[in-house]
Amino acid sequence: MYALKVPTATTTTSSVVMVGLLLMLVAAPPVLESITVWVVSAAVVLATLLGGPSRMLITELNTPLTSLGSLTFEVWYLGRCKTTGDLTACETFIPSATARWRRRMLRIVDVTKYFGRVRALESVTVRVDRGELVGLIGPNGSGKTTLINVITGYYEPNGGTVYLGDRKLTGMKPHEIAALGVARTFQVPRVFRSMTVMQNLMAALAYNREARKGAEERAEWLLGALGLSEKRDELASNLSGGQQRLLEIARALIVNPKVLLLDEPTAGLNPAVIETLRELLQRVKESGTAVLMVEHNMRVVSSFCDRVVAMNEGVIVAEGRPEEVLLNEAVIEAYLGR
Ligand SMILES: Nc1ncnc2c1ncn2[C@@H]1O[C@H](COP(=O)(O)OP(=O)(O)OP(=O)(O)O)[C@@H](O)[C@H]1O
Ligand SMILES: [Mg+2]
């Protein structure tokens, strides 16, 4: 299999050139295969050099476009992107473009984290795709919060890598990771207590210019969806614990995140509010956001999650659909402390 990988390129003109060359490729007889490969490679370099406001991506290719003798060109993606090298912001796709590669959003690969001699995470690999809600469960001290802290750059791992799409997050600072569209909440809510609810939401836009567009309407919508509209001008310190948790979730969502990381979001919420949150997260998923949620309430895990990852003492002990994982023997034993 032949794969062509080009992170970014090009102007509209070179887009046309590239499409032309791909069409040539389809038509080319086998004898021309090496020449064709050469011409396409040269065109890619040319397109990259030209650069420009709109970008075209032809990347690692998977769905066969054409077969030339033993050589198979595969196309995963062809389209224009709003931001450099970022597939998630791309506007157009070849319809047959592959699914799985395009869906990938957050990947935690072989991550290990020690605090002195305490093993918080050992070779943890987790993937959360676009529009997927993955639950992270495990008894106290199993490493769930540590994993969120590693993803968001609060902790540097001893080994392993975290990716957002193709982009390596490991080594970046928390505010840089946040600016790329990774939003989080904390196990103990951290709101700005001396600011109003609305000011809290607006403060979240400091590191994210793109999200400022339409932010006020989005803020109103989020407050409405979470039942906080009447509190918009209230100081955050006057909110109940549950309301502060909801405010923190709204603050994470105001930036239209690509990845949302929630650390025990339903703790202290009553069942009606939990249902409201479930409906909101459904919308969040539909918008393409990848959600990783640490949760202790198994009823919530069953009703919210598409997939569940169970941890114990820093390692993953089970992974799969909620109904499977919650009945898994290793998971039950971990919770019973055997
Ligand atoms: N900053 C730190 N310094 C030292 N040890 C830490 C630190 N943070 C976490 N740990 C240790 O790492 C292990 C994993 O902790 P972590 O907070 O990730 O667990 P958790 O799964 O989130 O637990 P809980 O369900 O109680 O929130 C624990 O043994 C904990 O004591
Ligand atoms: Mg925790």
Q: Mark which of 97, 128, 159 sits at the end of a domain.
A: 97
List the residue whose alpha carbon is closest to atom 26 of ligand 1: 140
Going from the Cα of 300 to the center of ligand 2, the distance in angstroms, rounded, reads 17
Looking at per-residue pLDDT, the higher value among 87 and 175 belongs to: 175
Task: Please classify residue 200 by burial: count the beta carbons closer than 10 Å to its beta carbon, then call 0-12 exposed, 13-18 middle and 19+ buried.
Answer: buried
Going from the Cα of 140 to the center of ligand 1, the distance in angstroms, rounded, reads 8
Is residue 63 located within the same domain as residue 200?
Answer: no
pLDDT at 83 over 70: no
Instruction: Express each pLDDT in 13-35 by its tens digit.
Output: 556 666 666 666 565 555 455 66
Is residue 60 located within the same domain as residue 198?
Answer: no
Q: Is residue 68 part of a domain?
A: yes
Mean pLDDT for all residues in the chain = 80
pLDDT at 92 over 70: no
Report residue 337's pLDDT band, with 50, 70 and 90 as the boundaries: confident
Going from the Cα of 121 to the center of ligand 1, the distance in angstroms, rounded, reads 10
Task: Give residue ranges with CB within 6 A of ligand 1.
Answer: 115, 118, 120, 138, 140-146, 187
Q: What are the structure tokens assigned to 20, written together?
A: 């032309």
Which residues partner with 58 through β-bridges?
6, 78
| Structure confidence at residue 68 (pLDDT) | 33
Q: Rounded mean pLDDT of 60-84?
A: 35
| Structure confidence at residue 209 (pLDDT) | 78
Q: Is residue 195 part of a domain?
A: yes
What letter does residue 41 receive in the DSSP assignment? H
Looking at per-residue pLDDT, the higher value among 101 and 262 belongs to: 262
Q: Is residue 7 part of a domain?
A: no
Helix (H) or strand (E) holding 69: none
Is residue 120 located within the same domain as residue 228?
Answer: yes
| Structure confidence at residue 136 (pLDDT) | 97
CATH, residue 320 = 3.40.50.300
List the residue whose alpha carbon is closest to atom 30 of ligand 1: 141
- Closest C-alpha among 337, 278, 300 to residue 136: 300
* Mutation to probe ligand 1, out of 112, 119, 142 (largest number of atoms < 8 A from CB): 142
Report residue 330's pLDDT band, with 50, 70 and 90 as the boundaries: very high
CB 309 within 8 A of CB 108: no
pLDDT above 70 coverage of the chain, percent: 70
| Structure confidence at residue 3 (pLDDT) | 33
| Structure confidence at residue 291 (pLDDT) | 98
Q: Is residue 1 part of a domain?
A: no
Is residue 58 located within the same domain as residue 115?
Answer: no
| Nearest bound ligand to the CA of residue 142 | 1
Q: How far apart are CA 31 and CA 36, in angstroms?
A: 9
What is the secondary structure of 206-260 as a DSSP string? TT-SGGGTTHHHHHHHHHHHTT-GGGTTSBGGGS-HHHHHHHHHHHHHTT--SEE
pLDDT above 90 coverage of the chain, percent: 62
Lowest mean pLDDT, pick from 21-30, 226-235, 263-272, 283-292: 21-30
Structural domain for 279, as ranges:
105-336
| Nearest bound ligand to the CA of residue 120 | 1
b/e 70-91 (16+ beta carbons within 10 angstroms → b): eeebbbbbbbbbeeeebbbbbe
Amino acid found at 80: R
| Nearest bound ligand to the CA of residue 137 | 1
Looking at per-residue pLDDT, the higher value among 327 and 23 belongs to: 327
Q: Is residue 273 part of a domain?
A: yes
pLDDT at 319 over 70: yes
List the residue whose alpha carbon is closest to atom 4 of ligand 1: 115
Largest CA distance in the chain: 75
Is residue 177 located within the same domain as residue 78?
Answer: no
Q: What are the structure tokens assigned to 299, written together?
A: 């009823």
Lowest mean pLDDT, pick from 14-18, 26-30, 189-193, 292-296: 26-30
Integer angstrom CA distances of residue 179 from 47, 150, 169, 211, 256? 28, 16, 11, 10, 11
* Mutation to probe ligand 1, out of 115, 295, 311 (largest number of atoms < 8 A from CB): 115
* Mutation to probe ligand 1, out of 126, 137, 144, 264 (largest number of atoms < 8 A from CB): 144
| Structure confidence at residue 82 (pLDDT) | 42
Is residue 83 located within the same domain as residue 163?
Answer: no
Report residue 262's pLDDT band, with 50, 70 and 90 as the boundaries: very high
Is residue 41 located within the same domain as residue 77?
Answer: yes
Report residue 210's pLDDT band, with 50, 70 and 90 as the boundaries: confident
Q: How many domains is the chain partitioned into structurally?
A: 2
Q: Is residue 5 part of a domain?
A: no
| Structure confidence at residue 206 (pLDDT) | 82
List the residue whose alpha carbon is closest to atom 19 of ligand 1: 141
| Nearest bound ligand to the CA of residue 146 | 1
Is residue 186 located within the same domain as residue 82?
Answer: no
Q: Which residue has the tokens 């993955």?
A: 134
Q: Is residue 6 part of a domain?
A: no
Instruction: Express each pLDDT in 103-136 by its tens digit.
Output: 789 999 999 999 999 999 999 999 999 999 999 9
Instruction: Express each pLDDT in 140-168 by its tens digit.
Output: 999 999 999 999 999 999 999 999 998 99
Q: Mark which of 67, 97, 127 sits at the end of a domain.
A: 97
pLDDT at 96 over 60: no
pLDDT at 85 over 70: no
